[in-house]
Amino acid sequence: MMSCPATYSRWLAILAILAGLQSVTQPLVANATSAVASGRSSALAEQSASYVAARKEIIIRYGATTERSIKVSVRPLKLAAKVRPGEKTVGVFRFSNLSDSPVTFRARSVVTPAQAAELVKRHASFCDADITMPARGQPGATMDREVEFTVDSALSPAIDTIALHWMIEGGARDQASH
Which CATH number is 130's domain given?
A: 2.60.370.10
Do 99 and 160 belong to one domain? yes
> What average pLDDT does the chain have?
77
Torsions phi, psi for 164 (to 5 deg): -110, 110
Give the rounded percent of residues in the chain with a pLDDT score beyond 70.
Answer: 65
Question: Parallel, antiparallel, or unpaired for β 103-112 and 131-133?
Answer: antiparallel
Which is more confident, 124 or 66?
Answer: 66
Query: Could you tell me if 146 and 90 are in contact, meaning their C-beta atoms sit under 8 angstroms apart?
Result: yes
Please identify, among 38, 55, 72, the residue that sits at the C-terminal boundary of a domain.
55
Do 112 and 169 belong to one domain? yes
Nearest to 122 by CA among 106, 133, 108: 108
Question: What residues make up the domain containing 69?
Answer: 58-176
Distance CA 108, CA 163 (A): 14
Residue 176, pLDDT above cutoff 70 = no
Amino acid at site 144: D
Do 49 and 119 belong to one domain? no
Do 29 and 73 belong to one domain? no
- pLDDT (tens digit per residue) in 3-56: 444 454 555 555 455 545 444 445 544 554 555 555 555 555 565 555 544 458
What does pTM read for this prediction?
0.64
* Contacts for 11 with CB less than 8 Å, ≥ 6 apart: none
